[in-house]
Amino acid sequence: MFELKERDGLARICELKTRHGAVTTPALLPVVNPNQLTITPKEMQDEFGVDMVITNSYIIWNDERLRLRAVESGVHSLLEYDGSVMTDSGTFQDHVYGDVEVDFREIVEFQRDIGSDIGTILDVFSEPDFTEDEARAAVDETLLRARGSAQLKGDMFLAGTVQGGTYANLRERCAMELSRMNFDMHPIGGVVPLLQDYRFSDVVRVVMASKQHLPPSRPVHLFGAGHPLVFPIAVLMGCDLFDSASYAKYAREERMMFPTGTRFLSGLRDLACGCPACTSTSIEELRAADPEERVKTIARHNLHVSVQELKNVRNAIHEGSIWELVERRARAHPALLEALKALEENTEYLERFEPVSRRGAFFYCGPESYDRPAVKRYRDRFFSRYRRPATKALVGFEEGKKPYSRSYAREIAAISESVDASFIVASFFGPVPIELDEMYPIAQSVLPDTLDEDVVRRMRDVMERHAHGHGYPIAAMWDGVETLEFLKDVARRRRSIDMDMLRCRAVLDMQFGRGAANILDGKEVEFVKSRNTGKIRNVIIDGRHALSMRAYDGRFTLKIEGARLLSEALPPPRMRVVVEDEPAQFAAKGANVFAKFVSECDPDIRPGDDVIVTNTKEDIAAVGRALMNREEMLAFERGIAVRVKQAVE
Amino acid sequence: MFELKERDGLARICELKTRHGAVTTPALLPVVNPNQLTITPKEMQDEFGVDMVITNSYIIWNDERLRLRAVESGVHSLLEYDGSVMTDSGTFQDHVYGDVEVDFREIVEFQRDIGSDIGTILDVFSEPDFTEDEARAAVDETLLRARGSAQLKGDMFLAGTVQGGTYANLRERCAMELSRMNFDMHPIGGVVPLLQDYRFSDVVRVVMASKQHLPPSRPVHLFGAGHPLVFPIAVLMGCDLFDSASYAKYAREERMMFPTGTRFLSGLRDLACGCPACTSTSIEELRAADPEERVKTIARHNLHVSVQELKNVRNAIHEGSIWELVERRARAHPALLEALKALEENTEYLERFEPVSRRGAFFYCGPESYDRPAVKRYRDRFFSRYRRPATKALVGFEEGKKPYSRSYAREIAAISESVDASFIVASFFGPVPIELDEMYPIAQSVLPDTLDEDVVRRMRDVMERHAHGHGYPIAAMWDGVETLEFLKDVARRRRSIDMDMLRCRAVLDMQFGRGAANILDGKEVEFVKSRNTGKIRNVIIDGRHALSMRAYDGRFTLKIEGARLLSEALPPPRMRVVVEDEPAQFAAKGANVFAKFVSECDPDIRPGDDVIVTNTKEDIAAVGRALMNREEMLAFERGIAVRVKQAVE
């Protein structure tokens, strides 16, 4: 029912298929109140392209007239809508108005019986001010009801809501237990009061504690989140669905939503919005309109802006710039900036889902950029995977000098030339040996000349750790890509170091893990280079084409020959995706590897990695590009795990 | 012809009136190439609300057919447009294609004769790679031509372009000399190559060097700037007009403009834009459309987005949040972040135009927020205007403690209570005595709990300077508004300090300058307080209502009685706006003060200040709110300088 299509870390574009069609996520489910249709579901479909709405089964159940109609002709007919319909259960009503008079089993059966595409359990709302004991009780009761509800769902998809207040341990436990049950989706509940109070860092803690313990193959729904302000960061954390009554609620207060916040109509000079609702009127007309029409226009604006921001988010996933989008949007409110900082605690987890490279550049947005998974990964891999070449490695470090200075780079280069040494440059990402300068993200980064002080200090710390670890001083210098270009020029003019060989070895180790460069030992290695750029194109080992270097990210594309050599140098499970034997035969003929057939996978494989596809007997079937990490390959029932690039047969 | 309507620092909303109607600035003038009408001027008016376009008089002059038609029936008829038309002179063509074969006088006369609303001199384009001598020669020749051209303009408005390459001294000289000539507008020229190369910090240096030496009463046009990416920061620097051929040029390359950058149509997953051009199609349709239609749709999108971003900028000026907008947008590209940092050199100049408060909150967006003029002003005024009250002033400082900790605030408060001392709290803005906590921007700020390290270090430096200057240690603590609220509570419960009196004195000195609080000396002072909030509403001095305190910014509104007292305590010109005697009589009857009648003004008056209006004999006529600073009052020929709130008669 749920298939991964594109991704940027945990942020992902998926297809969710219900009995009423396919929905592209991340998606916003507008809340439809059957008693108060500011915008009808039909209009939502036609004007906004909304493929799924959410309505409240408790409100329907609780109103005899609505209940009878729903039971007789179904919820789709009640709403006059033929897209997908999700139903909520009354939990939120219980939170707002107190006791809801319905049995948890009855409301699930009711949702099933009225033909809801996705029903929701009647979980217990855990308030942010709950003590740990109260929150634990809410979780226990939620889990009890979840277990009972899962048996009743029939053909309906069922959503099992994660509760636990602001207690990470309770969220974790709740998520873990729910993952073992037969659910199709997991809302994260109890966050509305946090959102209302702009407690976004608490939202981050709650979502991350939950998300990490839910199966990656089930959509995550951030219950009650309907403001475009939070969409980017929520999607970054792996949320797939949102729902919103806000577009209508805000409209009734004459408040207009924007991706950077909310404004009262009265405070605006101009509508300053190009959406169809705003371009159909002027601010003067809107102010003079009759209240009902005004509310409807503002509701339409709010929904347009929300739907658009999710398209914007999907574009960012597509081009691999979700971090940039989130860091930009975080400036909309200091509480969002806090939330971004709170996310830093999860860098290790986030790194597991972070693609190894992207086509677009890495844009620096502020001190927070230093905590992106791609930066941490570069540093970690440098320290654990990079092996210093035999040539004397670097050279020079001037105490008290600011860590980036082109003139200093020139001095170092001059010394370096005379002593036959290799360079290591202090960069934003960490120490960069000159032979790694073309590998993502080094050359693909766009940085300002002057970095924030926090970042410079942290850069220095890393460099000093490195210098200390290697027992030689470091040239503390950094001036963005230009310095690298300069040093590269110097390196090119030198004969004594075989830069191609250095680069090939360094990239092999960095990309596939320490030891990968051993495949070159004692072999005859030939480099085919681009006539235009002089860059390595292909690596021929003992006469066979083993590797190709990609121009856009300076990483290797693996050929079957390369996979053979690598599989000798690196013991299983390294860089392997193990596929059941029958599907492996198809892969060996060039078919892509579907997640459902993956039986094991190297936990160090990251999305975008070039991997070796084998059968369970360790025979190589193919090489290709991983679209998922291990957790995902083992969890997903649908979708491609490895896009096969070359097959043995 | 040019009137200030609303402002936020140098950023301003003005009305520019030509013979063909009024144009609200900041405005984008789409470039119309009479040979290639991607979008016709008529469409620009109808679909985009464009009130002024720019076309190139040299292209018309150079084409016999166009020239004859223009001379016969005028440029408006040629373009089939009845809005305002500005014409360019061929300078840019000279820059791109080399020698332009027209005499500088002839092209000005030609523009005048074809009925251009605003013509432009044929200045000499100073390239960014010019040596200082070359740039100086370009400036000399530009000034020579400017002098000659100004005599020929007739009824036409004439734009005198500032040149000087990247040399601030040359830009300054050029701007100064041009200001003395009879021009109506000043383009800043030679910036297109800088914009194309993303050299935005150079653009900042060039614009600021020019702007500071141009009369504030003449519109400034950033020649060739047409990407929404640069609108916010350019407007912040006081640019009023932009022109753009980019919307069409980019469209021909299938590039779509957004406020955060440019994207190739091919790189987008979805249009993710709600503009009328994008909502009239889908990405699939657009890709499949015939090339001409596709280019037109993208051009329309580009123009919509550009026009919208300027509306957005005008909304920000209206609500006083231009800094927030600029700091947010600066994350779109590291080069813009650099530009924002380059702007810090001009904080002193910017402060002269910065309003004293605003209705919205001060939002922290990152380390750069520390360099906003409002922050510098608070610090400067605290150090130069605030006088420590007689009660023992503060108390405690813990070395090495992080400078914000609520528990520490509690400790300090406890000590403080027992020793009858006043508090000074280390804040983002500088040292805050508790009695200034309600004055803008202290209580009106929204800050994250965790500030960037750069900022914390700079805060500490300021606090230590203060502690040192006063010979007592400082409680280095800060936890945003909450701590202030907490300390205020403690203060409220204490009887020995008269907090109202403390506050009244401190705000008087901070708002009107040191010595203003002397008006209370030896007087009977009574406070009328709000029944709801307990805050000071009115200050009655010797039985007369002299001051009212505004709830939203904690500053005083001056009454005539207050003005009388202040004028005794503060010698002229302090807080005075001196008006010619006849208009002063009208002001004394309650009429607003127009800029053209202002003969002198305290250079320390800032927009939003409560000021005393006098005649040239120092008789008080009225009190009111200044909308301009001194430079502006003396320069503007139109518009209100002081909105009179109370008059003597």
Q: Quick check: A481 pLDDT over 50?
A: no
Q: CB contact, 8 Å: B37 with chain A? A: no
Whether B78 and B119 map to the same domain: the answer is yes
Q: CB contact, 8 Å: B271 with chain A? A: yes
Q: Which of residues 390-449 of B touch A (CB under 8 A)?
A: 446-449
Whether B393 and B253 map to the same domain: the answer is no
Whether A576 and A614 map to the same domain: the answer is yes
B496 within domain boundaries: no
CA distance A128 to A569: 53
Average pLDDT value for chain A: 90
Which of chain A's residues have a Cβ under 8 Å away from the Cβ of B448? Answer: 334-335, 337-338, 341
Q: Quick check: A277 pLDDT over 70?
A: yes
- Region B180-209: mean pLDDT is 96
Whether B95 and B221 map to the same domain: the answer is yes
Q: Do B328 and A328 touch (CB under 8 A)?
A: yes
Q: Which of the 8 DSSP states describes residue A332?
A: G
What pLDDT is attached to residue B497?
A: 67
Whether A247 and A288 map to the same domain: the answer is yes
Which of chain B's residues have a Cβ under 8 Å away from the Cβ of A327? Answer: 331
A354 within domain boundaries: no
Confidence band, pLDDT 50/70/90 cuts, at residue B488: low
Structural domain including A539 reads 510-647
Which of chain A's residues have a Cβ under 8 Å away from the Cβ of B315? Answer: 263, 268-270, 272
What pLDDT is attached to residue A459?
A: 77
Q: Do B337 and A269 touch (CB under 8 A)?
A: no
What pLDDT is attached to residue A416?
A: 56
CATH of residue A376: 3.40.50
What pLDDT is attached to residue B403?
A: 43
What pLDDT is attached to residue A395?
A: 40
Which of chain B's residues have a Cβ under 8 Å away from the Cβ of A338? Answer: 448-450
Token pair listed for B296: 């037109």
Q: Which residue of A has its CA nearest to B326?
A: A331
Pick the catalytic residue: B8, B51, B88, B243? B88
B503 within domain boundaries: no
**CB-CB contact of B10 with B211 (8 Å):** yes
Q: Which of residues 276-335 of B touch A (CB under 8 A)?
A: 276, 279, 304-305, 308, 311-312, 314-315, 317-319, 324, 327-328, 331-335
- Region A606-634: mean pLDDT is 97
B283 within domain boundaries: yes
CATH of residue B204: 3.20.20.105
CATH of residue A588: 2.30.130.10
CA distance B464 to B447: 22
- Region B5-33: mean pLDDT is 97
Task: Compare CB distances from A452 to B304, B446, B454 and report the shortest one's residue.
Answer: B454
What pLDDT is attached to residue B541?
A: 97
Q: Which of residues 12-31 of B touch A (CB under 8 A)?
A: 13
Q: Tell which of B290, B318, B346 closes a domain.
A: B346
Whether A458 and A540 map to the same domain: the answer is no
pLDDT tens digits for range B589-607: 999 999 999 999 999 999 9
Q: CB contact, 8 Å: A649 with chain B? A: no
Q: Do B338 and A450 touch (CB under 8 A)?
A: yes
pLDDT tens digits for range A522-548: 999 999 999 998 899 999 999 999 999
B155 labelled catalytic: no
Whether B155 and B273 map to the same domain: the answer is yes
**CB-CB contact of B184 with B158 (8 Å):** yes
pLDDT tens digits for range A413-468: 565 555 555 667 777 888 788 788 889 998 888 888 777 878 878 877 777 776 66
Q: Tell which of A315, A346, A377 closes a domain.
A: A346
Q: Tell which of B319, B346, B373 closes a domain.
A: B346
Lowest mean pLDDT of A381-385, B30-34, B496-500, name the range.
B496-500
Task: Compare CB distances from B274 to A274, A319, A447 and report the shortest one's residue.
Answer: A274
Secondary structure, 3-state, A74-140: CHHHHHCCCCEEEEECCHHHHHHHCCCCCCHHHHHHHHHHCCCCEEECCCCCCCCCCCHHHHHHHHH
- Region A8-14: mean pLDDT is 98
pLDDT tens digits for range A78-100: 999 999 999 999 888 888 887 78
Q: Quick check: B117 pLDDT over 90?
A: yes
Predicted model pTM = 0.92
Peptide bond into A573 cis (omega under 30): yes
Which of chain B's residues have a Cβ under 8 Å away from the Cβ of A328? Answer: 260, 328, 331-332
For B370-405, b/e burial (b = at least 16 CB within 10 A) is bbbbbbbbbbebbeebbeebeeebbbbbeeeeebbb
Q: Quick check: A178 pLDDT over 80?
A: yes
B545 within domain boundaries: yes
Q: Do B457 and A457 touch (CB under 8 A)?
A: no
What is the least distance, in Å, from the CA of A279 to any CA of chain B? Answer: 8
What pLDDT is attached to residue B402?
A: 42
- Region B538-542: mean pLDDT is 97
Q: Quick check: B570 pLDDT over 50?
A: yes
List, by residue number, the catalytic residues of A. Answer: 88
Strand B11-18 with B21-25, pairing: antiparallel
Q: Which residue of B has its CA nearest to A47?
A: B279
B72 within domain boundaries: yes
Task: Compare CB distances from A454 to B267, B338, B452 and report the shortest one's residue.
Answer: B452
Which of chain B's residues have a Cβ under 8 Å away from the Cβ of A305? Answer: 274
CA distance B92 to B122: 9
A613 within domain boundaries: yes
What is the least distance, in Å, from the CA of B126 to any CA of chain A? Answer: 25
Whether A460 and A577 map to the same domain: the answer is no
Task: Give me the number of domains chain B comprises.
Answer: 3
B99 within domain boundaries: yes
What pLDDT is attached to residue A401?
A: 38
Q: Quick check: A325 pLDDT over 80?
A: yes
Confidence band, pLDDT 50/70/90 cuts, at residue A1: confident
What pLDDT is attached to residue A119?
A: 98
Phi, psi torsion values for B574, nearest 5 degrees = -60, 125
Confidence band, pLDDT 50/70/90 cuts, at residue B444: confident
pLDDT tens digits for range A385-415: 988 776 554 443 333 334 444 555 566 556 5
Q: Which of the 8 DSSP states describes residue A559?
A: P
- Region A321-345: mean pLDDT is 95
**CB-CB contact of A614 with A623 (8 Å):** no
Whether A58 and A157 map to the same domain: the answer is yes
Whether A316 and A369 map to the same domain: the answer is no
Which is higher by pLDDT, A561 or A480? Answer: A561
What is the least distance, in Å, from the CA of B318 to any CA of chain A? Answer: 6
Interface probe, candidates A315, A318, A458, chain B, greatest B C-beta count within 10 A:
A315
Whether B197 and B327 map to the same domain: the answer is yes
Rounded to two decimals, the ipTM of the complex is: 0.90
Whether B109 and B81 map to the same domain: the answer is yes
Which of chain A's residues have a Cβ under 8 Å away from the Cβ of B338? Answer: 448-450
pLDDT tens digits for range B373-424: 999 999 999 989 988 776 554 443 333 334 444 555 566 556 555 555 566 7
